[in-house]
Structure 1
Amino acid sequence: MERARGAGLRRTKALEDVLSILIHACQPLTLADIAESEELDSGADKATVYRLLMKLEERSLIRRLGLHDRAAYYTIILPGEHSDYLICNDCGRIEKLDISCPVEALEKQIAKKSGFKKLYHELEFFGQCPECAQ
Structure 2
Amino acid sequence: MNAIVKETVDRCRDAGLRRTKALEELISTLLESGRPMTLAELASSDRLAEQCDKATVFRLLQRLIEHGMVRRLGLHERAAYFTLLLPGRHNDYLICTSCGSIEAIKAPCPVHELEDEIREKTGFRNLYHELEFFGLCPACP
Which TM bucket (shorter chain)?
Answer: over 0.9
Matched residue SS, 1:130 = coil
Give the gaps of 5 or more residues in structure 1.
Answer: none
Give the one of 51, 56, 63 matched to 1:48.
56
Corresponding residue of 1:98 = 106
Aligned length in residues: 133
Deviation at 1:3, TM superposition (A): 0.9
Matched, 1:26 2:25: no
Runs of 4+ in 1 over 4 A off after TM superposition: none
The counterpart of 2:80, out of the listed 55, 72, 80, is: 72
| Aligned partner (choices 37, 46, 64) of residue 38 of structure 1 | 46
Query: Contact 1:14/1:42 (CA < 8 Å) preserved in 2?
Result: no
SS at structure 2 position matched to 1:49: helix
1-side partners of 2:51 and 2:20: how far apart? 12
SS in 1 for 2:129: coil
Task: Please give the secondary structure, in 2, of the residue aligned with 1:125.
Answer: strand
Contact in 1 for aligned 2:43/2:49 (Cα 8 Å)? no
- The yes-or-no answer on 1:62 pairing with 2:73 is no
Partners of 1:12 and 1:117 lie apart in 2 by 31
Contact 2:72-2:80 at 8 Å conserved across structures: yes
Map of 1:78-89 to 2, 5 A cutoff?
78-89=86-97
TM-score of the superposition, structure 2-length normalised?
A: 0.92
Q: Quote the RMSD (CA, aligned, Å).
A: 0.9
Which residue in 2 is equivalent to 1:8?
A: 16
How much does 1:60 deviate?
Answer: 0.3
Unpaired runs of 5+ residues, structure 2, are: 1-8
| TM-score, normalised via structure 1 length | 0.96
Shift of 1:59: 0.2
Give identity over the alignment, percent: 57
In 2: Cα distance, 1:127 partner to 1:30 partner = 20
